[in-house]
Amino acid sequence: MRATIFLIYSLLASSAGAWAQTVTGPQGEVFGRRVLARQLSDPWELTYGPDNHLWITEAKGYRVSRLDPATGTKTVLLDLSRERQFPRYDKLSDSLDGGKPWPQGGLMGMALHPQLLQGQPYVYLAYLYRFAGADQPGKGGAPNYGGYFFTTRIVRYEYQPAAQTLTRPVVLCDTLPGSSDHNGGRLLIAPVEGKDYLFYSIGDLGAGQFDNGGRPNHAQQPTHYKGKVLRFNLAPDADAAPADQWLPNDNPYGGASRQSAVWSIGHRNPQGLAYAVVGGTGHLYESEHGPYSDDEINIVEPGKNYGHPLIIGYNDGNYDGLAASVSDRATLPGPWHTTYPLIGSESTNARALGATYRDPIKTLYPNSNAFLKDFFAKTKRHAEAPEWPSEAPSSLAVYTAAAIPGWQNSLLVPTLKHGKLLRLRLDAAGTRVVGDTLTYFKAPVRYRDVALSPDGRRLYLATDSASVTSGPSKEDPKGTSCKGCILEFTYQRGGGLAPGRPAPAAAPRAAGSADTRRPARAARQAGK
């Protein structure tokens, strides 16, 4: 698949209110670009609200804000710092905290009720609030790389427009497992058979890699919430037990004796959720990080299994004889020193999963079995292993407007590893990706989330403040041009080039050329 790439000239803007530059896309689209906000504390969720403001969560700052895109004025609605029962490890010296990790994320997903300004003033938030190792000596993890155990809660707040605050918290669930890695963290409200529900993506918690390398992986077990997409009610139902009132009674893995939030299983690190009607049918799209290849785009269906950690990306055999991770830590189990199971054969695993298994509709960089075997062998013996090409998709949106020629019914995927927005065109049914992978707004940043104005003329991108989200995140970012920024790109003219027509000159790119550090370090830099 050809990647069409263009470079923007600079990421230095003089003010939030004035156009800083014009940038051109690969099919001739011309956008005006400006910086709306800077120096936010790792903006995670970026949502265009029905009040024509941008709603933002700050992962490390634990704040929820509204941002006026016309003026750049920001108002803090809620500060959740007091709810966080562990300190800002990213700001503490290892000599003080023993090297305890800041978790991947923090205050993560947010979803606004569709009738936010029409009698249903509800805002849903997801955040990590407890660390089991906070009072333990040293790093606070389980022995032999057994992992870091955090806990996440989902809470509903009421928006008070006059006071500009979020009040009256109601907990939907406060027992969700968390980790230093692979927390997922997206919230989305989407309909099922005409009724709206709250979906939450939760990763496998990094169980099997890095400092969680000895932690058991439960992405394939429906009785565990790890490695799943979950579904909750927007309002409590009539069930007797309070904890059950937020769980839809028809979730696919529930039963008469036990209710469950699990909607789908077999996910690795799902950080993108989006819903759209394409070709007359509504689809729930999801993006997730692959390990050493195969970042995925999936269509999530109830009760279906997306393969992790038994099938990585497509069922194409490229992980045969391998696992979803590898390490040089001989105290960990298996031939690749990880609790991830050995993948003897992806096709055999797919047959064993049966009719519930679903391939992705798109994977990015499905590296060959030969490349991966060489990589695994070198990593295991602590030799210099090659860098691998990947994107680290951090979020997902579906562009359904008609404002930009050629863009209608496209998936928009912001990426962490090489700082770009990918556009993937869907077919008429919305069930396949067709055509080239197009690249926009490439820059030395980590794009965390994307939001769209209702008319489709403006795109908003949030950038990380730091260069890493897991692993050693205390270092100062190097080369990041706009830290903790909210960027606005406004469509002005052009675009819609016919297939085969030459696009503006593109900069050549070698696969995986942007980061030549050692593999474990590069994965941390990618937030994978």
The confidence score (pLDDT) of residue 524 equals 36
Q: Would you call 182 a catalytic residue per the annotation? A: yes
Instruction: Give the CA distances from residue 68 to residues 53, 56, 135, 403, 432, in Å, rounded to whole numbers and listed in that order.
Output: 5, 11, 41, 22, 36
The confidence score (pLDDT) of residue 480 equals 63
In this structure, how many other beta carbons lie within 10 angstroms of the beta carbon of residue 280? Answer: 8
Residues 88 and 61 sit within 8 Å (Cβ to Cβ): no
Q: Cα(406)–Cα(401) distance, rounded to whole angstroms? A: 10
3-state DSSP of 131-166: ECCCCCCCCCCECCCCECCEEEEEEEEEEECCCCEE
The confidence score (pLDDT) of residue 247 equals 97
> Which residue segments constitute the domains of the chain, with CATH numbers given?
40-268 (2.120.10.30)
The confidence score (pLDDT) of residue 424 equals 98
Segments of 391-468 assigned E as strands: 397-399, 410-414, 421-426, 433-440, 447-452, 458-463
Q: Cα(294)–Cα(430) distance, rounded to whole angstroms? A: 20
The confidence score (pLDDT) of residue 469 equals 52
- Chunked in runs of 10, what are the mean pLDDT values of the chain (528 residues)? 39 42 94 97 98 98 98 97 97 96 97 98 98 97 97 98 98 98 98 98 98 98 98 97 95 88 98 98 98 97 98 98 98 98 98 98 96 97 91 97 97 96 98 96 96 98 79 42 95 77 40 32 41
The confidence score (pLDDT) of residue 506 equals 39
* Given the residues 113, 182, 218, 267, the one annotated as active site: 182
Instruction: Give the CA distances from residue 179 to residues 146, 299, 382, 410, in Å, rounded to whole numbers and listed in that order.
Output: 11, 26, 26, 33
The confidence score (pLDDT) of residue 19 equals 47
pTM of the model: 0.91
The confidence score (pLDDT) of residue 20 equals 58
